[in-house]
Amino acid sequence: MTSVSRERLCWKKSSYSGSQGECVEVAGLSEQMAVRDSKNLASGYLVFDGTEWTSFLRTLKGGGFCV
């Protein structure tokens, strides 16, 4: 992901985040989603394409993960 700099991404934190900041943040790209650990911003971020992101959300909403 060389076309979008880290500084230009608009990161969003979940409204379900605890007050200690233990969560992930997401940033929308044109056809992808970037995800980073809010506790360790220096570690960078992962990028998922639309199909991967949709599958993740569908599984999450369907109870497929223990969260």
DSSP states of 1-62: --SS-GGG---EE-TT--TT--SEEEEE-SSEEEEEETT-GGG--EEEEHHHHHHHHHHHHT
pLDDT of residue 5: 58
pLDDT band, very low/low/confident/very high, at 60 (cuts 50, 70, 90): confident
Residue 63: what pLDDT? 85
pLDDT at 6 (0 to 100): 54
If one compares 3 and 39, the residue with the highest pLDDT of the two is 39
- Interval 10-46: pLDDT, tens: 999 877 777 776 788 999 988 899 999 888 888 989 9
